[in-house]
Amino acid sequence: MSEAFYVTTPIYYVNAEPHIGHTYTTVVADMLARYHRLRGEQCFMLTGTDEHGDKILEVARERGTTPEAVATEYAQLFQQTWDQLGIQYDRFIRTTDPDHRVVVQSILQKVYDAGEIEFKEYEGLYCVGCERFLTDRDMVDGLCRDHERAPENRSESNYFFKMGDHFSWLAETIENNPDFIRPERYRNEVLAMLSEESGLGGELCISRPKERLDWGIELPFDDRYVCYVWFDALINYLTGVGYPDQSEFETFWPAAEHIIGKDILKPHGVFWPCMLHAIGAPLPRHLNVHGFWNLDNRKVSKSLGNLISPIAMDERYGFEAFRYFLLREMVFGQDSSFSEPLLIARINADLANNLGNLVSRTLNMTNRFADGVVPTPGAQEEAEAVIEKTAARVAAEVDEHVLSLRPQRALESIMGLVDETNRYLERREPWKAAKDPDRAGQVPTTLYTCCESLRITAVLLSAFLPKTSQEILSRLGLDSPLEEASLHDLTRWGLLQSGLPTVKGPPLFPRVDVPEESK
Ligand code: MSP
């Protein structure tokens, strides 16, 4: 049986439209699922929406409607957005789905029966934006660090999960599995949270009295309460693959890869492993943590209202170009800046000048000097052998970078092959060689080498730029879907058959002019 791969995005709150932050996490997950599928693995990608909690109730009240209506409207918006942008998820989960309620209630009961949940009074400062009580570290000048608003004073009797009982086990597990949380800086952050000095506290409030919040999953052991959102939300990762007894669960759960932003490290790095340990479920394979997209040096978030819509980017530049920018520009784990001039500069340098240029020059010359079909190559000389070796090296590098969650390095490497092939073409100058009787015999080999390098480039790009990759392959006369062969076989040099009819086509990525106001 083939290896399994299970990738998840966070489930998105249903109070904001999809923006660059959601899009980045989703695109990384989509890229990974596509890449692993191409490696011949059995893949499952989960995304969805996080629909319970005070925030949705607040929005529903403001609009004079029901939380169900608000949740459905936004869930559809997210789902339609991902569909329109070609994200290949396997399930879109909503925390209001009936199977999710059953799983959450069964887990609550299990943890309660094990004596890990207690009932007591609590008083503290609560941030509606974060949906939780804050600690001193979460605040700056009396305001929530993330939401820049004052928390409310609240006192309530509630149910608490005694997660602190699992802290020493968790710290030891993280120490023993150094790449469980990656990149490394986030592992260190979680270890710091688990240390006593962090003031995190070992109790996680998991309930809300219905009299104040009745929009949630009822506690199976006390119908006066609903479940507090993080406990409910995290469990989506289990529901999504059929916890506890469907066969998908056995297959996929041990292969789980969570992709999250750094702002939700604590729930995923601390609460979640403790919850899993309490129910005797294994940990996911990795917790992969990315940084923030900044705009004008502030993070882009719905609370601050400065949004960049993926649909607007699609209309203006094409989603593939935006997707390329996101994956190429951000060093996974670190923060990055977004601006349209930066996006345009990337499109022009990498996609129009480098990749687009190689495609159009290769196919134009194949049309002119080889009757529009992939030519039959003659013997390789040193220059061709260098391109073949570069392609093999790049394929190995891409594999290593993708598996280690370095999409930016993988793309850099692929563009290196394109660059090298462009330089090879410059040196071979088939447009001159074709007219020179001493060199004309070299032209079919030169063009074959460029076509073959482009084919391998397209295969390697397919998880990153699926449409562009298909387009390049079909212009090379290759129409069958990639899934039919494995990545390893597809990147072997020399697979491209001579005689295939090629198509010149319009520019893949036309150069974009920098808008006047940005100059
Ligand atoms: N509902 C929770 C997640 C529950 S998962 C069990 C949530 N939702 S969210 O809609 O607020 O955010 C979802 C994701 O978007 C998070 O990974 C967050 O880090 C990411 N981003 C939000 N703004 C972002 C940027 N400006 N940049 C990069 N990612 C950011 O949190």
Residues 4-46 have pLDDT tens digits of 999 999 999 998 899 999 999 999 999 999 999 999 999 999 9
| Residues 230, 370 within the same domain | no
**Domain range spanning residue 408?**
340-490
* Pocket mutation for ligand 1, best pick of 19, 271, 292, 326 (most atoms within 8 Å of C-beta): 292
With a 6 Å cutoff on the Cβ, whether 46 touches ligand 1 is: no
pLDDT at 197 over 60: yes
> What is the number of the ligand 1 atom nearest to the C-alpha of 22?
15
Q: For position 358, what pLDDT does the model report?
A: 98
Answer yes or no: do 173 and 308 share one domain: yes
pLDDT digits (tens, 9 = 90+) for 373-415: 999 999 999 999 999 999 999 999 999 999 999 999 999 999 9
Does residue 249 surpass a pLDDT of 60? yes
Q: Which of 301, 322, 337 is the last residue of a domain?
A: 337
pLDDT for the residue 301: 57
Instruction: Indicate which residue's Cα is closest to atom 6 of ligand 1.
Output: 234
Query: Are residues 68 and 95 part of one domain?
Result: yes
How much is the average pLDDT of 327-354?
96
3-class SS at 213? coil
Q: Is residue 498 part of a domain?
A: no
The span from the CA of 72 to the CA of 67, in Å, is: 8
Q: Closest residue (by CA) to atom 5 of ligand 1?
A: 10
Ordered alpha helix ranges (H), 258-381: 265-266, 272-278, 310-317, 319-329, 340-346, 357-369
Q: Is 260 in the pocket of ligand 1 (CB under 6 A)?
A: yes
One domain, residues 326 and 425: no
DSSP collapsed to 3 states, 225-270: EEECHHHHHHCHHHHCCCCCCCHHHHHHHHHEEEEEEHHHHHHHHH
What's the whole-number average pLDDT of the chain? 93
Same domain as 347, residue 309: no
479 CB-contact burial (10 Å; exposed 0-12 / middle 13-18 / buried 19+): exposed
Q: Whose CA is nearest to atom 21 of ligand 1?
A: 21
Phi/psi of residue 47, nearest 5 degrees: -140, 175
Final residue belonging to a domain, choices 337, 353, 385: 337
> Would the CB of 301 count as within 6 Å of ligand 1?
yes
Are 201 and 273 contained in the same domain? yes
- Residue 16 has a pLDDT of 87
CA–centroid distance, 257 to ligand 1, in Å, is: 16
Q: What is the mean pLDDT of residues 214-237?
A: 95
Has residue 519 got a pLDDT over 60? Answer: no
Q: Are residues 8 and 130 in the same domain?
A: yes
Q: In terms of domains, do 283 and 404 share one?
A: no
Would you say residue 391 lies in a domain? yes
Q: Is residue 501 part of a domain?
A: no
Residue 336 has pLDDT above 90, yes or no: yes
Q: Which of 212-216, 247-251, 410-414, 481-485 has the lowest mean pLDDT?
A: 481-485
The catalytic residue positions are 19, 22, 127, 130, 144, 147, 299, 302
Rounded Cα–Cα distance for residues 154 and 39 (Å): 52
Does 30 sit in the ligand 1 pocket, CB within 6 Å? no
Q: Does the residue 126 lie in any domain?
A: yes
DSSP character at residue 180: S
Asked whether residue 451 is domain-assigned, the answer is yes
Residue 466 has pLDDT above 70, yes or no: yes
100 near 93, Cβ under 8 Å? yes
User: Distances from the Cα of 160 to the Cαs of 153, 168, 183, 218, 260, in angstroms?
Assistant: 18, 19, 31, 15, 25
Question: For residue 513, is pLDDT > 90?
Answer: no
What is the CATH classification number for the domain harbouring 146?
A: 3.40.50.620
The enclosing domain of 366 has a CATH number of: 1.10.730.10
Is position 497 within any domain?
A: no
Token representation of residue 321: 């170009």
- Asked whether residue 322 falls in the same domain as residue 411, the answer is no
**pLDDT score of 132:** 72
Backbone angles phi, psi at 46, to 5 degrees: -115, 130
Structural domain contains residue 403: yes
342: alpha, beta or left, given left = phi > 0 and alpha = psi -120 to 50? Answer: alpha
Say how many domains are in the chain.
2
Q: Which residues of 89-103 are buried (b: 16+ CB within 10 A; e: fewer)?
A: bbbbbbbbbeebbeb
Domain end marker among 337, 371, 400: 337
Residue 173, Cβ density class (10 Å: 0-12 exposed, 13-18 middle, ≥19 buried): middle
Instruction: State if residue 258 touches ligand 1 by the CB under 6 angstroms criterion.
Output: no
Q: Is 53 in the pocket of ligand 1 (CB under 6 A)?
A: no
Q: Ligand 1 centre from 25 Cα, in Å?
A: 8
> Does ligand 1 have an atom closer than 6 angstroms to the CB of 52?
no
503 located within any domain: no
pLDDT, position 58: 84
Residues 382 and 330 reside in one and the same domain: no
How large a percentage of the chain has pLDDT more than 70? 96
Contacts of 310 (CB under 8 A, 6+ apart): 18, 19, 20, 23, 81, 85, 319, 322
Q: Which helix (H) or strand (E) holds 286?
A: strand 286-290
Residue nearest to atom 22 of ligand 1 (CA): 21
β 218-219/222-227 pair status = antiparallel
Calculate what percentage of the chain has a pLDDT beyond 90. Answer: 84
Q: Indicate if 284 and 401 belong to the same structural domain.
A: no
pLDDT of 450 reads 98
Closest C-alpha residue for ligand 1 atom 8 = 12
184 and 208, same domain (yes or no): yes
